[in-house]
Structure 1
Amino acid sequence: MTNVEIPVPTGRPTRSVADILKEAKERDVKLLRLQFVDIHGMPKSMGIHVHQLEKALNNEIMLDGSSIAGFRTIETSDMFFYPDLSSFAVMPWLEGDRAVARVICDIYNPDGTPFDGCPRNNLKRVLKEAQKLGYTYNVGPELEFFLFKRNPDGTPSTETHDAAGYYDIGPDDLGEIVRGEIVDTLERLGFEMEADHHEVASGQHEIDFKYSDALSQADNVTTVKIITRQIAAKHGLHASFMPKPVFGVNGSGMHCNQSLAKVGGGNAFYDEKGDYQLSQTSMHFIGGLLKNIRGITAITNPLVNSYKRLVPGYEAPVYVAWSAANRSALLRVPAKRGNATRVELRSPDPAANPYMAFAAMLLAGLDGVKNKIEPPSPVTANIYKLSADERKVQNIPALPGSLYEAMEELKNSAVAKEALGEHIFHEYIKAKTIEWDAYRTDVTPWEIDRYMARY
């Protein structure tokens, strides 16, 4: 089979089959993991022996698509791995006594066309829309997570690993050693790390890596999650990217800094003479995000639990507004300008499928660029302290308050449907409807504690 190329920008150097075969031999690789994600962003992989490596790199390895959430039915289940050769990497550890490599794959149909239910293929499709307008889409996600102790039987507990706070250091921050090993492992895989630190809540941490193109960053988010959980497990801990695992403390977000770069070079969001030194393109992008955010929130915040983070009182954004600095706003423009000019969307959480979330955010912003949607005036006041009447006067709506509300918005969003494509859109609605119904009909410990003795 021949590889059907979908040309999109990537920050990784190109690789050839010959290059990879040479490296695998030199580093004595015994096992290759073919990695991809389902529509929920769950990492999946198939392991093959090194003697199958050349076949895999030439797109000749098959998978059963009917066994993957949101992919194919049993009647049309044959599919193929198409490795992105630039993503080949030898992992900096052994599995048993075997050296292991991984390569990130797109999923293709038997006729050699990209499978439209593959989130990575779908993001490539959406990125080409930006290219047609003369832009590259760059993203800088900030991943937050908790480190929890494990119960004696090995299951995760909700007891945090430390009692440190924002920017604390050791010995209070017991996570320094774990974070340090995570960062070191990622750097050995070729990541350019920018920062890591303890977050606000006990046991909560953040890792940031270099701003880059959206496709590479979606791959990177997936890799960081895998590495973080593996390193945590090595230390007897559980790393959780659940948005709100502990009641009464801050939840975990995935703030997404984003910008458009001109294909010929230069940041399309920067204009030295514009208001706030922002270009009309950036203002329209902000306008598009604000207009469409309620319709894509079920993608950026995909769990029932996501909406227990999006409540006032814990620094999470709740209200649809923007600001040049104000951290109570949903959209914030950090102070740096020039090539660093960017817009930070603060609502996404780390449970989101990054391929789908980036596609949705991009098309929401491009809707503003194409249709010249002007944003409202920036909000400088602390929105959390405004009354409901004051927010109404200033036309500051709230984000959806539940997965059900977010799904109703998604169903009516033309941008969301375009961002996901027909296949993923319908499969995602089906899966999330099942999830909401399971939650809605469950009898929770809260209900037992509150009602059992009284009624």
Structure 2
Amino acid sequence: MQFMPYRLVNGIMEPVSYSMEEVMDIIKSQDVKYLDLQFTSLTGRFHHVTVNAKMLSIDTLKEGFPKLDGSSIKGFAQIYESDMILKPDPNTFAIIPWKDQGRTARMICDVYWGYTGERLSRDPRAVAQRAEGMLKDEGFNVSYWGPEVEFFVFNRVGWEAMVPSRGISYTIESVEAPWSNDSSHTLRLKEGYMPAEPYDTLTYLRNQCMQVLNDYFGIPCEAHHHEVATAGQCEIDMRYDTLTNAADNTMTYKYVVKNIAKMNNLIATMMPKPLAMDNGSGMHVNVSLWNDNKNEFYDANDEYAELSQIGRYFAGGILEHAESLCAIVAPTTNSYRRLVPGYEAPVYIAWSKGNRSAIIRVPVYFRGKKQAASKRIEFRAADPSCNPYLCFSAILAAGLDGIRKKRDAGEPVDENIYLMSAEKRRELGIRQIPPTLIDAINALKSDDLYLKSVFTQDLIDKIIELESKDYMEIKLRPHPYEFYLYFDV
């Protein structure tokens, strides 16, 4: 019998919530052999340990598993304080359909210190849960998050970087790419948006991903399509969810996409900018705040975008803290190769109702009270290399800071900011996001107070430490294109 984590609620198929007792019953009735305990590192990588289902009991599921050496997970702990416990969340239970050597289920876990039983403050899921608590303290019932995660699927990728003195290089192969030997499927640079088959060669793969996310992991998906870049850039649209759930869903999305690609002898990556001279992969984050079943971002009397004053204050907080937010939402050196003019990525700190050159967009596909539930802010600077738990929490912290301060977003900008002169941008007070990771890190060092309601100081310090190390690793090495530019000097 196929495992389907849905039930019908008011005529709509909704994901199922489980108790530990129900999880145990499913493990027995579905003859589950193994349970994968999954958790997310500070840098946003999924990790897991597999336990024998025969050894499970209600008590072990509730008390947690003493299976984690935290010193071996980047950003978690030192070698002298390494014993940690994984406590699974029953609402994340799912059967993994591609495991063919014994039925395997998974559960996403919270991370706790051993012995004291205290929560690990650097556990990204703990940050998200603290952020949801802060939201309630500020008088809102719930926030909804809809990340739009883009990714590339290639036929083959290779690189040489381990012996940098010998040379550094990479190669990418894709049947869709202009450099492919098979010209029957090629897509020109920046012309890959929603092409019909046969030029879109990945429809079947996205269908597979959508089915697995829907039917096995309980993550409703609405649509999928080829994105703007050549060489297999894709997007699958997940339905919105609450903050922690949306971050869980984002991690699961990456996990499913990469595994389904591997099953098809392809390779998927969430690297923001793998291709030169073409669009990179973003993760536009849609957010709204709700109270008593009312979307607090909707205002029928606002002629411009039907955006409420609370929504404008929330956007104002994001704009105020945009530079330091970049260190959380765009945390890699490669992120800043995407955040450049000319490739539909936001570079300028401004907002608008439909302007994709601004860092904040308020979607306006429809208008009227019938569409009140869909009123939201779209923050466009994030990319899929980020840790979604930290990303959503930081955006929420910035937005709530704007509401507290009544920081209005200012006048919207309804023209192509890329084409503005520097003088006009100065007149309009339009700032630019940090051009490099080290600039974003420096911004975070000087603007982190708004984060401290959900980010502990040791967490912020560890983020700065890890990202600074990555920046130096890249800075120390010659770029291959520098040989083309300077070898003959």
User: Match of 1:159?
Assistant: 173
User: Match of 1:21?
Assistant: 24
Cα distance change of structure 1 residues 392 and 142 upon mapping to structure 2, 3 Å threshold: same
2:106 to 102, 105, 121: 102
- Aligned pairs for 1:8-157 within 5 A: 13-54=16-57, 56-62=60-66, 63-95=68-100, 97-110=101-114, 111-135=116-140, 136-150=142-156, 157=171
- How big is the shift at 1:75? 1.1
Letter in 1 for 2:311: S
Q: d(CA) in 1 for partners of 2:72 and 2:314?
A: 38
User: Match of 1:371?
Assistant: 405
User: Match of 1:399?
Assistant: 433
Give the conservation status (yes or no) of the 8 Å contact 2:193–2:229: yes
1:437 aligns with 2:466: no
Q: What secondary structure does 2:134 align onto?
A: helix
The TM-score with structure 2 as length reference comes to 0.87
Q: What secondary structure does 2:383 align onto?
A: coil
Give the conservation status (yes or no) of the 8 Å contact 1:146–1:160: no
Give the conservation status (yes or no) of the 8 Å contact 1:258–1:343: yes
Letter in 2 for 1:149: N
Letter in 2 for 1:381: E
- How big is the shift at 1:51? 1.9
- Aligned pairs for 1:162-201 within 5 A: 162=176, 163-164=186-187, 165-189=192-216, 190-201=218-229
The TM-score with structure 1 as length reference comes to 0.94
Percent identity, please: 38
- Aligned pairs for 1:404-419 within 5 A: 404-413=438-447, 414-419=449-454
1:327 aligns with 2:356: yes
Q: d(CA) in 1 for partners of 2:96 and 2:337?
A: 36
- Aligned pairs for 1:175-254 within 5 A: 175-189=202-216, 190-202=218-230, 203-254=232-283
User: Match of 1:267?
Assistant: 295
Aligned residues: 441
Q: d(CA) in 2 for partners of 1:288 and 1:253?
A: 21
Gaps of 5+ in 1: 1-10
CA offsets, 1:151-178, max 9 Å, x none? 699x994223423411112111001111
Q: What secondary structure does 1:70 align onto?
A: coil
Q: d(CA) in 2 for partners of 1:85 and 1:134?
A: 28
1:290 aligns with 2:304: no
User: Match of 1:6?
Assistant: none
CA offsets, 1:353-385, max 9 Å, x none? 000000100000000111111111000111111
Letter in 2 for 1:137: S
Give the conservation status (yes or no) of the 8 Å contact 2:36–2:107: yes
Give the conservation status (yes or no) of the 8 Å contact 2:15–2:219: no
1:312 aligns with 2:318: no
Letter in 2 for 1:59: E
CA offsets, 1:288-332, max 9 Å, x none? 010011111011001101000000010100000000112221101
User: Match of 1:446?
Assistant: 481
Cα distance change of structure 1 residues 272 and 65 upon mapping to structure 2, 3 Å threshold: same
Gaps of 5+ in 2: 1-13, 160-168, 177-185
